[in-house]
Amino acid sequence: MIPAFDYDRRMPRYIVVHHAPGVTPEDFQKSVPAVLEGKFATFVQCYANMVDGLIINIYDGDDEAAVARELERIGFPFDEIKALQFAATFDDLKKMIGG
């Protein structure tokens, strides 16, 4: 079985790309209360490279506009928002090749 996006999920999931050179752990900490509030979209997960200022966030939302509204509300600039169409774990990939 090939893993694919979970179309049974209530809300679509989005990948958000941020380029924020100079961002610090303290910057993240300051935004946590607003992020957790989730008025227009729901935060799921964050991946960050603090050295290069590359941040990837995962959000659930009704549509791309809702995710953008949420990020604007938080005051967190973003470069791209894309619908997540595929996700797989290590084990999912192994299953794809019969492992």
Q: What is the end-to-end Cα distance of the chain in Å, rounded?
A: 11
Mean pLDDT of the chain: 89
Q: pTM of this prediction?
A: 0.85
Average confidence (pLDDT) per 10 residues, the chain, 99 residues: 51 95 89 95 95 95 98 95 93 89
The per-residue DSSP string of 48-96 comes to EETTTTEEEEEEEESSHHHHHHHHHHHT---SEEEE------HHHHHHH
Model pLDDT, residue 11: 81
Q: What are the chain's domains?
A: 13-96 (3.30.70.3090)
Model pLDDT, residue 1: 38
Phi, psi values for residue 98, rounded to 5° = 85, 15
Model pLDDT, residue 13: 96
Q: Is 22 exposed, middle or buried (0-12, 13-18, 19+ CB in 10 A)?
A: exposed
Both tokens assigned to 10: 């209530």
